[in-house]
Structure 1
Amino acid sequence: MGFRHAIMTLLLMVSALPAQAQLRVFACEPEWAALVRELAPDAELTTATSYLQDPHYIEARPSLIAAVRRADIAVCTGASLEAGWLPMLLQRASNPDIQPGRPGLFFAADHARLHAPHDHVDRSMGDVHPEGNPHVHLAPDELPDIARALADRLGEIEPGASAAIQGRYIRWRGHWSRMRAEWREKAKELEGHSVVVQHSSFQYLLRWLGVETAVDLEPKPGLPPSASHLSQLLAEPNLGKASAILIASHQDPQPAEWLSEHTGIRVVVVPGTVTGEGPTETLGGLISEIIRQIESAASGVSHGGL
């Protein structure tokens, strides 16, 4: 009876302990929600955008304001990607922990080497980010540094879970290194190929693979392809060497389809970020699928886009 009484007493003591609060995370883009899920799978996640949305242009909806107000940390890209909506969201949410310079606001771009920074930017240049290309979630060599910094920050916000978060980061890093080695082997077959793009969304990965950009459907970054610009592209000498016209799921397919009709170059549509399901549920899966689609186009095999 004494042993049973001791067990019952212990169970009552444990049940009386306050429950550990669940880590609440606001992710500006799906890629960072996916990375948080790898490091802190029990976190309560709210994501502001989806793979079918352009992250440059998001409305600061009441539901998002409420999510930021109650969040412990916001994980965003930075490098001015969310400049059109995040400052207003932070102001309206009035969460003192999630403000510039506070631990509760994490910018992935602060922990990566960005391509194409500009000393001078004005509106005549289009949608150019002075810090550099913000679409760093498709940079195989930069993601480990971002993930490590995020693991450290999550552990700072939630000290009791820090050791578990670091353990998951180490496992994630090992898996990422193995995938990166596989991608490097595939890159040997793709080096020297070229594709038509729309915006710089895939530039980190294309550059890493050694795949060149033949032409850009946009006349200037962020400006929709115009009929006159598309007509001018037909005279571009690099166009005939392109293996595919690569666009993201959230982009208007009509310019790419028009160019395809006039050139015979295949249109490949892939998600610009994780989708939350299937092979593109994680960042590693997303990169693998984009590479597969480019491989397919380069080899002339027709599997269609996502």
Structure 2
Amino acid sequence: MRINIDKLKTHTFKIVIAPTLAIFLGLASAANLAADTVQVFACEPEWSSLAEEIGGDRVKAFSATHAQQNPHFIRARPSLIAKVRKSDLIFCSGAGLEVGWLPILIQKAGADLQPGTNGYLMAGDHVQLIEQPHSHVDRSMGDIHPEGNPHVHMDPRNILIIAKELTKRLSSIDPGSSEFYAGQFDSFSKRWSEALSGWEKEISDLTEHPIVTHHKSFSYFVNWANLKDVGAIEPKPGLPPTIRDLNNLYTSIKDIDELLIIRSPYDPAKGATWLGEKTSRPAIVMPYTIGGNAKVTDLFSLFDESIRLLKSSL
């Protein structure tokens, strides 16, 4: 029997080489796509969510923390250092929130991720900070941030300002997609403005309503919603309350009807629970960030759920 070598070569190519080549090309294409994706290292979930809103499929965002973690106290793990080194943009709250760990990561990052570059975006640098101390700050005052309150995402009006700056940074890092990012921002801006109008109408029912917070995490939200801050469970920012502190707080608010008591998912429950039992009011766990409860999957649902929780407690 005579074998046709040419036909055998063709047959072998179709069965073995062609599928292998297709797989190789597919992997190469996927690798190129991944290489073209802007890698965003976000310190908190709210900023990774915003990066995904503006960046769409051209951005891959990673959050160094989750909703059950206090962003003040994170360890600069080797895995975080590795993530930073592979990133194109560092996106954090700033204003001292991450001062205990972010500087260590920045030291290990490239020149294009250092302060003053387009790859270094601190949200607090682009909005008006509240609760800025007017005197010398020292440890006796608790965990006071000299720059001001860093929890800027809890005022929904700040989100659009920060989103606009984020759009500029992404366009600078990935100029070939600048029109795409501009379109993403325009779409997000319209949806956010509509949602903001609705939230303002909903929360207006609670104007001047008295509220006690665990920490200063919700100060921006309290200001935006025109709630009346009547006390904090922490005697000083970051300092756990003693029973004497809690009794003093209770004495000052015990005659207030329908008091709102709130804390974040990562705040210790003990103080808020104690005060809630003494006042016969629910101690509300506000989501604070993305993933704060099962219903909060993005920035829109963060404010939807925050307002719902407050109103449903009355």
- TM-score bracket for the superposition, by shorter chain length: 0.7 to 0.9
Q: Which residue in the other structure is 2:8 paired with?
A: none
Matched, 1:49 2:62: no
The equivalent position to 1:169 in structure 2, one of 180, 185, 188, is 185
Q: Which residue in the other structure is 1:99 paired with?
A: 114
Task: Determine the C-alpha separation between the residues in 2 that align with 1:19 and 1:267.
Answer: 50
Residues 1:180 and 1:239: Cα distance change in structure 2 (over 3 Å): farther
Equivalent pair of 1:215/1:239 in contact (CA under 8 Å):
no
RMSD of aligned Cα (Å): 2.0
The equivalent position to 2:45 in structure 1, one of 19, 26, 30, is 30
The Cα of 1:129 is off from its aligned counterpart by: 1.1
Equivalent pair of 2:67/2:266 in contact (CA under 8 Å):
yes
Unpaired stretches in structure 1, ≥5 consecutive residues: 1-13, 299-306
Task: Determine the C-alpha separation between the residues in 2 that align with 1:112 and 1:193.
Answer: 26
The Cα of 1:231 is off from its aligned counterpart by: 1.6
Q: Which residue in the other structure is 2:157 paired with?
A: 141
Equivalent pair of 2:67/2:292 in contact (CA under 8 Å):
no
Q: Deviations over 1:90-120 (max 9, x none)?
A: 11x2322111112111001111111111243
Task: Determine the C-alpha separation between the residues in 1 that align with 2:169 and 2:254.
Answer: 45
Task: Determine the C-alpha separation between the residues in 2 that align with 1:199 and 1:77.
Answer: 17
SS at match of 2:62: strand
Matched, 1:233 2:237: no
| Matching of residues 248-263 of structure 1 within 5 Å | 248-263=264-279
Unpaired stretches in structure 2, ≥5 consecutive residues: 1-24
Task: Determine the C-alpha separation between the residues in 2 that align with 1:276 and 1:165.
Answer: 28
Task: Determine the C-alpha separation between the residues in 2 that align with 1:239 and 1:211.
Answer: 17
Residue 213 of structure 1 aligns to which amino acid in structure 2?
D
Greater helix content = 2
Residues 1:277 and 1:161: Cα distance change in structure 2 (over 3 Å): farther
Q: Which residue in the other structure is 1:112 paired with?
A: 127
Matched, 1:123 2:158: no
Residues 1:41 and 1:277: Cα distance change in structure 2 (over 3 Å): farther
Question: Larger Cα Rg: Structure 1 or Structure 2?
Answer: 2
The Cα of 1:48 is off from its aligned counterpart by: 0.6
Equivalent pair of 2:41/2:89 in contact (CA under 8 Å):
yes
Q: Which residue in the other structure is 1:11 paired with?
A: none
For normalisation by structure 2, the TM-score amounts to: 0.86
Equivalent pair of 1:233/1:239 in contact (CA under 8 Å):
no
**Which consecutive segments of 4 or more residues in structure 1 shift more than 2 A?**
14-20, 237-244, 276-279
For normalisation by structure 1, the TM-score amounts to: 0.88
Task: Determine the C-alpha separation between the residues in 1 that align with 2:47 and 2:73.
Answer: 17
Q: Which residue in the other structure is 2:239 paired with?
A: 223
Task: Determine the C-alpha separation between the residues in 2 that align with 1:277 and 1:47.
Answer: 17
| Matching of residues 282-301 of structure 1 within 5 Å | 282-298=298-314
Q: Which residue in the other structure is 1:204 paired with?
A: 220
